[in-house]
Amino acid sequence: HCKFFFPDNLLGISWVDSSWIPILNNGSVLDYFSERSNPFYDRTCNNEVVKMQRMTLDHLNQMVGVEYILLHAQEPILFIIRKQQRQSPTQVVPLADYYIIAGVIYQAPDLGSVINSRVLTAVHGIQSAFEEAMSYCRYHPSKGYWWHFKDQEEREKTKPKAKKKEEPSSIFQRQRVDALLLDLRQKFPPRFVQQKPGEKPIPVDQIKKEPEPAPETVKPEEKETVKNTQSAGAKGPPEKRMRLQ
């Protein structure tokens, strides 16, 4: 089974043969990689010559040309195969690396491809940011330049405002407020008074004051009687005079 994303670019290709996955190990991974349907395999390599002549892989050291070797193995999940150009028994030049994860073969990207991809991604992000920023820029000869974020204003209008929790007042605050209100009432007395709830307030001047009770009237005779009684009580009873015989 082979998946192709970009036929001209091997970095976009993955290949897998599910029948090999249960038997993959250090001894069979190169045979799995040398399958003819594998697009990463070069049939003109020395591995193909050794395979056709039924020789062991040890003969690769005595040959010159392209060859594949098992560079790293972590059975049964990970294998790394290197493609290299052999110039002598002791001198080789690496050409490419391939990693096999769970039976799926990928080509490892080179440093230039990684840097190129990262730079293109960064440039695309910066260009998109500049284009979006320019869409909010406004200019007028009298005002100059300014930013107009219409979408942000609409989101703020539709966003429900969080209700602030009201904290109860302290005794000190209530006493201070009552004192200030009393002081203001004395300085600025009310001009209108609402006698009952729901009634229309009326001016204070129009309120009828209740008449004060008149002092009790006492008759002159009663005054004299009271006066005599008081004076008699103060002086005591009159003394009896002796009669002359």
Give the CA diameter of the chain.
195
Give pLDDT, residue 72: 93
* CATH fold group of domain 10-109: Nuclear Transport Factor 2; Chain: A, (3.10.450)
Give yes or no for a contact between 57 and 50, defined as CB atoms under 8 angstroms apart: yes
Give pLDDT, residue 239: 53
H-assigned helices in the chain: 29-33, 46-52, 111-135, 150-158, 171-187, 220-235
CA distances from residue 56 to 45, 68, 92, 202, 224 in whole angstroms, order as listed: 15, 13, 19, 119, 160
User: Position of tokens 């007042």?
Assistant: 169
Give pLDDT, residue 217: 55
How many CA atoms are closer than 13 Å to the CA of 137, on its beta-carbon side? 8
**pTM for the structure as a whole:** 0.49
What are 132's two structure tokens?
């979006």
Give yes or no for a contact between 98 and 107, defined as CB atoms under 8 angstroms apart: yes
Give yes or no for a contact between 136 and 148, defined as CB atoms under 8 angstroms apart: yes
What are 77's two structure tokens?
């999940």
Cis upstream peptide for 76 (omega within 30°): yes
Residues of the chain with CATH 3.10.450.580: 10-109
Residue 186, sorted as left (phi over 0), alpha (psi -120 to 50) or beta, turns out to be alpha
Give pLDDT, residue 3: 41
Name the nearest CA neighbour of 29 among 85, 68, 84: 68
Report phi then psi at 83, rounded to 5.
-100, 125
Give yes or no for a contact between 30 and 73, defined as CB atoms under 8 angstroms apart: no
Task: Write the pLDDT tens digit of every residue in 39-95.
Answer: 999 999 999 999 898 888 888 988 999 999 999 999 889 999 999 999 998 899 999
Name the nearest CA neighbour of 28 among 115, 100, 91: 100
Cα torsion 229, 232, 236, 241: sign: negative
Q: How many DSSP H helices and E strands does the chain contain?
A: 6, 10
Counting as low any pLDDT under 70, the low residues of the chain are 1-8, 151-156, 159-167, 208-245
User: Position of tokens 């609409």?
Assistant: 154
> d(Cα 228, Cα 179) in Å, to the nearest integer?
56
Give pLDDT, residue 132: 86
Collect all residues with Cβ–Cβ distance below 8 Å to 102 and sequence separation of at least 6.
21, 77
